[in-house]
């Protein structure tokens, strides 16, 4: 058996790299495979807001095989049982929603690692095949390669962001602009001073802790602006791209 080919954690550690991590909400291995084979550094299989169940998630994770695209899964909550199950499907990392405090972050990090470094239960009966290891070699091959990405999307997270960023084992942070603006009472008002102040606080804390930042970049000017501010990861959405191109082609008939 070969050693683990997981690479996204190392990519995140290389400060010279700009990366993509596109969100897949459509329960389709075909869509995921197309995005992966196009060269995406990662896909985020969205089990929180997408129409994706565990069977679909397994097929979507498997569809990234043979590419350099990391299959990450956004779980519905910071729950060790969910994390264990999605990692056992072969995920390379977890995107955690609604992280509000340093204790939440510590619990998230611990759920990714096997004892004595964490709390993950052992049973990678599917995952070991995805990563080309034997069942018993899987633990050693991947235990320090699993990616931990936190979503910052609440007032509490903003208030506690310095303490959150100080937790060891966090590989990336994404300010989730839709949820965050909604929790601030200014849903969708991304130019509002309160939202801009909150985002600036996250950016300062992540930079001080040397944690890569990600955000949504659906068009090149938006992506360029994020990169200019020091963001390392841009994300698109499969469903929004599909709807946008369908609307554009419909306009050709007018």
Catalytic residues: 49
DSSP for 19-41, written as a single string: EEEEEE-S--HHHHHHHHHTT-S
* Structure-token match 């909604």, residue found: 182
CA 42 to chain centre: 8
Q: Is the distance from CB of 139 to CB of 115 less than 8 angstroms?
A: no
Q: Is the distance from CB of 186 to CB of 208 less than 8 angstroms?
A: no
Q: How far apart are CA 82 and CA 130, in angstroms?
A: 19
Helix (H, G, I), strand (E, B) or coil at 205: helix
Helix (H, G, I), strand (E, B) or coil at 191: coil
Q: How far apart are CA 228 and CA 78, in angstroms?
A: 31
Q: Is the distance from CB of 57 to CB of 86 less than 8 angstroms?
A: yes
């Amino acid at each position: 058996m070969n050693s683990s080919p997981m690479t996204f954690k190392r990519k995140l550690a290389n400060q010279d790299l700009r990366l993509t991590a596109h969100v897949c909400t459509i329960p389709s291995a075909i869509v995921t495979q197309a995005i992966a084979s196009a060269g995406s550094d990662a896909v985020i299989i969205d089990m929180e807001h997408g129409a994706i169940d565990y069977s679909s998630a397994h097929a979507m994770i498997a569809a990234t095989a043979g590419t350099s695209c990391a299959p990450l899964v956004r779980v519905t909550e910071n729950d060790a049982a969910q994390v264990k199950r999605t990692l056992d499907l072969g995920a390379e990392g977890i995107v955690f929603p609604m992280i509000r405090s340093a204790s939440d972050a510590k619990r998230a990090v611990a759920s990714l690692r096997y004892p004595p470094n964490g709390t993950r239960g052992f049973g990678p009966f599917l995952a070991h095949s995805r990563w080309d290891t034997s069942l018993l070699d899987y633990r050693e091959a991947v235990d320090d390669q699993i990616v931990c990405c936190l979503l910052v999307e609440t007032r509490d997270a903003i208030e506690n962001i310095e303490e959150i960023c100080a937790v060891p084992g966090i590989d990336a942070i994404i300010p989730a602009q839709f949820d965050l603006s909604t929790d601030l009472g200014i849903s969708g008002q991304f130019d509002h001073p309160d939202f801009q102040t909150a985002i600036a606080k996250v950016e300062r804390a992540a930079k001080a802790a040397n944690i890569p930042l990600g955000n949504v970049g659906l068009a090149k000017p938006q992506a360029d602006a994020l990169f200019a501010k020091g963001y390392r990861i841009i994300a698109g959405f499969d469903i929004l791209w599909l709807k946008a191109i369908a609307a554009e082609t419909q306009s050709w008939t007018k």
